Amino acid sequence: MMTKTDYTKPWTSAERYRPYADYSADYVTALTTAVDTSAYKNTYHIQPKTGLLNDPNGFSFFNGKYHLFYQVFPYGPVHGLKSWALMTSPDLIHWTDEGLKLFPDTIFDLHGAYSGSALPLSEKELFLFYTGNTRGENNSRDAYQNGAIYTQTGDIHKFDAPLLRTPEGYTDHFRDPMIFDAHGHKFAIIGAQTCEEKGTVVLAQATNDSLTAWDYKGQLQFAQEEMGYMIECPNLVFIDKKPVLLFCPQGLDKSIADYDNVFPNMYVIADDFDVESATLTQAGKLHNLDDGFEVYATQAFNAPDGRVLASSWLGLPDLDVPSQADGWQGMLSLVKELTLKNGQLYQYPVVETISLRHEKQNITLSEVATTIDSNSYELEIELRQDEENELYLFANDDNSSHVSLKIDVKNGKIELNRANLPVSWSENYGVTRSTQFTPGKAKLNIFADTSSLEIFVNDGEKVMSSRIFTVPENTYLFAKNSLPATIWQLKK
């Protein structure tokens, strides 16, 4: 009889960086079975076939389809030897798994193909820009910003040498190149740590059309405050011609911007992007991109149809989750469209998401249980003026186990509480999260999946994204006060 693998055991460095070819067919079969039978497996979200998924990468439109890569270690639910996997879609909803595409197989990425971005060069070639991770003695690290071409036929051709090496004045924490068009030129921003251990973003510019030559332009100026000890996953997109910088500062002082998660995902809106001075001019305040428990490494791009599209990792660095026992962790958010309204960033699932809806029901939530088929639904509710209420989701039949959502319309506040779930994790960072919205009206679109919850307030004014782990039979809904609602079951 095959011994059940303990995927939660401590993984040694040798195990994490073990060559893929060393894993037996029996191991892969057992791991695949564990994930397929996991009680936490989602229905309409992207999650890894096996192992760990983290950062979305290379989000782009190429060859008539959306391409969404993600970083993955396919042989265990831990951060190990990373590759890029690829999903493609004609509509941002129905995704095809194209398998692993970008492998750690050169001297410049031998210990991991880390995060990056993509930009079409032509109808036949998609340029990939990514960080190659290499390790030396005593766990030393060298990071290289590498290029590759993904072809129309699905082949990968890596460039022979790195496009950018870490410049003087920075540590080996130099990664996540994001390429973009601006002012008729190609640029990239890279997350970095200075030798003084200060977080920053570095700007580079391509000096030829083939994107094989690059020059550094200096540090991107966008804030007066110190940005912690490291910035990861910077993205610069343009919404109504205004630059919006998304980024993940590690070690950010909470007096600069308040947050509860181990690391926040933040954004800043500016008036313009000045190339010569490497400055986001008239940059505004720092804001949390998402007020839920788990969101990080959001990647956005300016799509050819004029929309700005984004996908987030519903996870965080250095955080263990219950699904690891089943051989997997990590998932991607719904694809969201980013817009600006009255100078504020809004995020809402792309309009194509409506195609997931079926079996519409008009219901009334109350202290009496509402039974649903599964935790795979969209729930829409509206509260007005001075209303207060509390919803209970992922609940059992007597409501002793649940996720609660307190809504105070008068004061424009929502509090999400997952203290009463049968499975606990990450309690060191608290069991509640809250967000503020414009008082007077609260329209909520709540997207539940087997082990996730994405809440959009007032059509994207605020967002709360979280992982939820409970038992399969907890598929009841309650409300403290009677509340009309509309619910749709969502397709796989």
Phi, psi (5° rounding) for residue 29? -60, -45
Catalytic: which of 36, 55, 172, 373?
A: 55
160 catalytically annotated: no
Catalytic residues: 55
